[in-house]
Structure 1
Amino acid sequence: MTALPRWEQELGIASVDYSLLTDLYQLTMAACYTGEGFEEKSASFELFVRRLPEDFGYLIAMGLTQALTYLENLQFTPEQIAALQATGIFHHAPERFWQILESARFSGDIWAVPEGTAIFPHEPLLRVEAPLWQAQLVETFLLNTLNYQTLVATRAARIRDLAGVEATLLEFGTRRAFSPQGALWAARAALAAGFDATSNVLAALQLGEKPSGTMAHALVMALSAMEGTEDQAFTAFHQYFPGAPLLIDTYDTVAAAERLAAKVRAGEIELSGIRLDSGDLVTISQKVRSLLPDVSIFASGDLDEWEIARLKAEGAEIDGYGLGTKLVTGKPVNGVYKLVEIDGIPVMKESSGKGTYPGRKQIFRTIVGGKIHRDRLGLITETPGKDEIGLLQLVMQGGERVQQTESLGTIRQRTAMNVASLPESLRQLDNSQLLDVEISQNLQDLTQRTKRGMGNR
């Protein structure tokens, strides 16, 4: 029996497979460009969002590190090319198409905002300047990683902003993330946007972090059944993990807290914290606090920023939160990737509700008194005005990185500073406002000229 290719057996992803992690039309368009002799024409594509998810006043850009790693490693193996040819889809593709895949390497430039930067509609998170076939091919992967990590990072930043700097925030989303790869990206994005730790062991170790977690109800039930009582289950766990937080809501939460309080007073147990995963968290946490005043109380169970706001408003005694399902899923970030210039010619899309601005652009930001005062979207050729800074930076040139990879700590600090710089109206959870991004006169003029030019074609 003929062995199946590895990707058919595992349906998994290795870095060598990233070139095929694309939509079919990226490859068919590249083949068409090649047949028409345009494949090496210089092209610029920008990745941005037209609108924010509902109730969001900003986004936190994230995922650039993985995007650059993908571009650095872009290539097609003989096995992959043979698999594409075997589909029969490319029967009429020019021979040159296969030649460029055989020698494929990303050779373009990348401009991007640093990870952890607050951005708004129509502001490019990233621009690709490369030969047309390369810039087209990489669209799918770039959207995948930047859209998803930006979503998780924005949720994490909002939660950190609401919970405050003293709260412990843990990422618990691995079992709810959309895929194993997504779970790793979600953990990274949450950590980079302000969370303290993740329960995902692989993600933590790959990122040089320490994983964090407690226990599940299964341990309490199993050891209670085998050893006699819930207290014996706690004792057994502490034998191997002294002082570790205990999950106390498997049976009667308050009764468990009362017994633990007696043991703490008697010096029979050292307890650093407890976790509550169910019930009326406001009432239960208050009762537990009265019994265990010096023990940290940690809450989990389908929490999000709105639920945390409610808990705080109603006086819950909670020191930290575990966020899972609603952190790593939910409202998508609908980033798009659009051609803005080809062979030096500005282009734009004029579809109803999906129009774009032509030309290579820069975000000019003005900060006054530590707060974002204004964002101006202009052309890359424009000179920054007084007190303006350009957010898009050259991060890859000729397919090579020109900046060192930033640490999670650096990105975490930038995220915190960016959120703190936002007007309060953009940070509020409900009825959040949008920053009115100014469109420069030069960009407005280019847009009108481009429209007129399109009308004459």
Structure 2
Amino acid sequence: MKTATESLQQAGFEEILEDRELTVSPADYSLLTDLYQLTMAACYVGEGLDDRPASFELFARRLPDGFGYAIAMGLAQAIDYLEKLRFSEAQIQALQSTGIFAGAPERFWTLLATARFTGDVWAVPEGTAVFANQPLLRIEAPLWQAQLVETYLLNTINYQTLIATRAARVRDVAGPEAKLLEFGTRRAFGPQAAVWAARAALAAGFDGTSNVLAALKLGRKPVGTIAHALVMAVSALEGSEDEAFAAFHRCFPGAPLLIDTYDTVAAARTLASRVNSGEMPLQGVRLDSGDLVKLSREVRSILPGVPIIASGDLDEYEIARLKTAGACIDGYGLGTKLVSGSPVNGVYKLVEIDGIPVMKEASGKLTYPGKKQIFRTMKDGEILGDCLGLTAENIHTSDYHLSLMQLVLKDGKRLQKPESLEDIAKRTAASVASLPAQTRQLNNPISPPMEISTDLQSLIEKTRKSY
């Protein structure tokens, strides 16, 4: 019996099988999807349903444990994906060679060959605080297009929203003056995730990233210090930790130094003599281990004018503990716990097909029918609560009501210029500042209340009866 690999090789699939780099470029976007998106699209074509107007909404039924809010992120990459979605002849041939689509109608291949996203996109702006069951994005497009794009949209928005939310919580705890650096590339879930994590962290208020590719693509200077390896290598070969510091400064004068390879306090004293004599400028020191409260206090007393950066499996909870304990720390480098953790489990669900509202009623997985809008009530700059209603409703009873979802793509064409990370970061900061204290607290946070509008409630009951 032939293996799957042998069958694919006989079908002319060798080129794809030999691509072991597994890198992703815009040309690959069309195939970066789950199989059932394509098989469903083929079925829609077979049933003559492919061009029926459909609306899908992307939302999270619940937030990760311990989160009182989420910060919407990833829209920029979602729009880029929709604009560049294409199927090449080689990709179509590769799909045909699998044999999976032998029963697909011929028109399915014609659709793929001419595929362009032609729909509308409504979305919450990046950097906006959102809560459970609120749509971050809505796709209004021909059914086959709206179905096909699900996987990629969930991938970019779920992950970047998680990172942005964690980064916003860190910034909120650390305070506006703390220097926050993203160090998570080695712990992120793959190269693409590492770049997205860096972007999301910067857009949520971080000051820099050590990821060189991400920094340069985003118009930033990469940041970082040194690793213990340099200190150990130069110390072993040239005699001392002090010589390791001097060697690094010969190439990078004044650069921050990692001082906890051996004896943190002794290293600080050695540096102090040079700094105080004017022999050595020093932009900062990093502590990566040990009792950060005690060590930071000692280092501050020895190097009073030198910024102290802490790193080593930090998160918002540990930063809050360090601050409460009186640590003398000016900034934090965050990696593992920033770029990983419980996911934002966003889902993408059909809410209307050919003008007919639809809903899912499975236990624990209820969805609301119809195209929806989030109406936010604010007073004196604070969120009082939200109302989830239908797009056709007019709930603006005062100047404090805001409609969060905006039209960002019309007939497949972008309506706005891309936003800068600085503008998104400002929105993130304003969003977090507008949250009630009980929503921002780290322990047992409580999200603001969200009511269901009368019209939406009526539609829910009407849709249930129709089933």
**TM surpasses 0.5:** yes
What residue number does 2:306 align with?
295
Contact 2:384–2:448 (8 Å) recurs in 1: no
Tell me the equivalent position of 1:405.
418
| Aligned-pair identity (%) | 68
**Which residue of structure 2 aligns with residue 443 of structure 1?**
456
Aligned to 1:197: 208
Query: Corresponding residue for 2:3?
Result: none
Amino acid aligned to 1:406: E
Q: 2: distance between equivalents of 1:410 and 1:438?
A: 30
Please tell me the residue identity of whatever aligns with 2:431: N
Counterparts of residues 81-100 of structure 1 (less than 5 Å)? 81-100=92-111
Q: Name the structure 2 match of 1:350.
A: 361
SS in 2 for 1:18: helix
Q: Secondary structure at the match of 1:384?
A: coil
Partner of 1:367: 378
Q: Deviations over 1:173-224 (max 9, x none)?
A: 0010001000000000000000000000110110111111111111111111
Query: Quick check: 1:396 aligned with 2:409?
Result: yes
* AA matched with 1:400: K
Equivalent residue in structure 2 for 1:186, among 197, 208, 226: 197
Q: 1:331 aligns with which of 336, 342, 367?
A: 342
Question: Is residue 44–residue 128 contact of structure 1 (8 Å, CA) maintained in 2?
Answer: yes
Preserved contact between residue 308 and residue 328 of structure 2 (Cα < 8 Å) = yes
Who is 1:434 aligned against?
447
Verify the 8 A CA contact 2:53 2:142 in the aligned structure 1.
yes
Does the Cα contact within 8 Å between 1:7 and 1:13 map onto a contact in 2?
no
Supply the AA of the counterpart residue of 1:80: Q
Runs of 4+ residues deviating >6 angstroms? none
Specify which of 39, 44, 47 is matched with residue 28 of structure 1: 39
Task: Give the number of aligned pairs.
Answer: 454
TM-score, L = length of structure 2: 0.96
Deviations 1:244-282 (A, max 9, x none): 111000111111111111222222211111000001101
Please, what TM-score do these two structures have when normalized by structure 1?
Answer: 0.98
Listed as ranges, the gaps of 5+ residues in structure 1 are none
Q: Which amino acid aligns with 2:50?
A: E
1:244 aligns with 2:258: no
State how far apart, in whole Å, the 2-side matches of 1:124 and 1:289 are.
Answer: 47
How far did 1:8 drift?
A: 2.5
What is the CA distance between 1:9 and its match in structure 2?
2.9
1:121 is aligned to 132
Q: How does 1:245-264 map to 2 (within 5 A)?
A: 245-264=256-275
- Aligned-partner residue type, residue 322 of structure 1: G
The 3-state SS of whatever aligns with 1:10 is: coil
Distance 1:238 1:205 in 2: 23
Asked if the contact 2:357/2:370 (under 8 Å) is kept, the reply is: yes
Q: Partner amino acid for 2:136?
A: L
Q: Give the CA deviation at 1:14.
A: 1.1
> What is the deviation of 1:6?
8.1
The structure-2 alpha-carbon separation of the partners of 1:449 and 1:171, relative to structure 1 and needing over 3 Å to count, comes to same
Deviations 1:218-245 (A, max 9, x none): 1111111121110011011111111111
Q: Is the 8 A contact 1:384 1:390 kept in 2?
A: no
1:314-325 equivalent positions in 2, closer than 5 A: 314-325=325-336
Aligned to 1:64: 75
Match of 2:432 among 419, 422, 447: 419
